[in-house]
Amino acid sequence: MIPIHSVTSDEYPHSLRGAAILANNQIESHENRPDKPEEACGVFGIYAPEQDVAKMTYFGLYALQHRGQESAGIATFEGTHVHLHKDMGLVSQVFNETILEELPGELAVGHTRYSTTGSSRKVNAQPAVVETRLGLLALAHNGNLVNTVPLREELLKSNFNLVTSTDSEMIAYAIAQEVNTGLDWLEGSIRAFKRCEGAFSLVIGTADGVMGVRDPNGIRPLVIGTLDSDPIRYVLASETCGLDIIGAEYLRDVEPGELVWITEAGLASFHWSPQPERKLCIFEMIYFARPDSLMHNETLYSYRMRLGRRIAKESPVNADIVFGVPDSGIPAAIGFSQASGIPYGEGLIKNRYVGRTFIQPTQTMRELGLRMKLNPLKDVLAGKRVIIVDDSIVRGTTSRKLVKTLRESGAEEVHMRISSPPVTHPCFYGIDTDTQDQLIAATKSVAEIAKQLEVDSLAYLSWEGMLEETREDTNSFCSACFTGDYPVAIPEQVKRSKLILEKVVV
């Protein structure tokens, strides 16, 4: 057996134990969940024998923290020896200097998680490490498979001991199964990927090197960076912000249906899918990815500003001030201001030191309106006609509370503009959305939503406008959450779990 050294505690840190128990018991109500699609995951990989790869992975994950806040993990390879640490919590809570010093090696893979398949439990934290004929592999996954049921059955029939409830572990064991037939890392991995359906951007560590992989549609992002070193060393990350923090230069994206193999010899590319068709998740551009990350040779901040300009032209309204819901609505609000001539200002202040809380407020606090994350600037709002810009509405619960807060602060009129179309369908590719009946736009018209939110007017960006402002081929994006047109077929068993209603036409 190849040795593995884990420095993961067997117990939850004291400060996280209550959160973990709550997550395991799944008692958090819809009312207290954020009114947004929950993030995907963040993955990071590096091959740099001369560097402190654990510390560089830590900082890479720190930059990708917005993609998942439930657990974090790093696996390093020191020859054939694997050092692993993963636990529940934020990257800065899971790791410290002492722990990072116990993770030596030439290469590393890391993960920060929001659960999509598999609940929020320590056993489901990644990287997933499994043993193969060629040694251990450590896998970090962003995305979601849609054929988990048959794949799990295949693996169980082969007597693999699945210890988690994640599809990520299944991908790792599928690779092990193929490698154990006598194939090498590349051949075995490619054969395993062809058994996987859905969304997967992967970073995989082995004693021989690091792989970066995207599914044939490239639904979730994955980029390659280079370190200024001799020889050149390579880094993989979900977004370019994960490269910037360690001084790596963006080289290019991993292409849909591509496997890159990073070893001492450098970077090699293998196009393993015969018919790749790019379908990047449009919500990555609208909301998930950090505004300073690059996509299509520009920051997403620029794209989001264009969305604001577009909706200002599509749905104009007279007002005294326009502002965004911090932080994700701000670029679009600035764009709206630029196109409309209405002054941009700040109407809400965000407490940036608030994470998820598992302490429930008292009934009195609820009645008064607990303002943990956003607080209004009453003197800015009083007597004003205001336009508030946000990137999306999912259930509408937070938006309604926000509108009520603005009115209580003296706003004379409240107009809401959303820089994406109505979300009418759930995601099956790595975003945690509610079942369809919980999506407000799936059951109500825009006029009905406006009435429920108690706004003076409500307008969404058009689907065509959202795609045209990418300035890319509009067919190269997945926008199924707005249309119900899923690029990868969803098995009926999976579809029934979320897709409750007939196809919605808005």
**Pairwise CA distance, residues 75 & 100, whole Å:** 10
The H-or-E segment that residue 307 falls in is helix 300-314
Instruction: Consult the annotation and say whether 196 binds a ligand.
Output: no
Residue type, 309: R
Angle between helices 446-453 and 397-408 (to 10 degrees): 50
Distance, CA of 86 to CA of 165 (rounded, Å): 16
Question: Alpha-carbon distance 454 to 456, whole Å?
Answer: 7
CA distance 436 to 447: 19
Q: Token pair of 22, please?
A: 């709550």
Contacts of residue 254, Cβ cutoff 8 Å, sequence gap at least 6: 201, 212, 213, 214, 218, 222, 223, 224, 236, 260
Torsions phi, psi of 224, nearest 5?
Answer: -115, 135
DSSP 255: P
The response to whether 481 counts as a known ligand-binding position is yes
C-alpha 191/C-alpha 149 separation (Å) is 18
Q: What gap in Å lies between CA 145 and CA 211, rounded to an integer? A: 19
Q: Any known ligand binding at 281?
A: yes
| Helical packing angle, 167-179 and 148-157, nearest 10° | 50
* d(C-alpha 151, C-alpha 170), whole Å: 7
User: Residue 470 in 3-state DSSP?
Assistant: coil
Q: Which residues contact 306 (CB under 8 A, 6 or more apart)?
A: 335, 469
In the chain, % helix, strand, coil (3-state, to 5) comes to: 35, 25, 40
The CA distance from 320 to 54, in Å, is 51
**3-class secondary-structure state, position 464:** helix
241 is in an annotated binding site: no
35 is in an annotated binding site: no
Contacts of 55 (CB under 8 A, 6+ apart): 100
| Residues taking part in catalysis | 41
Could you list the residues known to form a binding site for Mg(2+), using ranges.
328, 390-391
Could you list the residues known to form a binding site for [4Fe-4S] cluster, using ranges.
281, 427, 478, 481
Could you list the residues known to form a binding site, using ranges.
281, 328, 390-391, 427, 478, 481
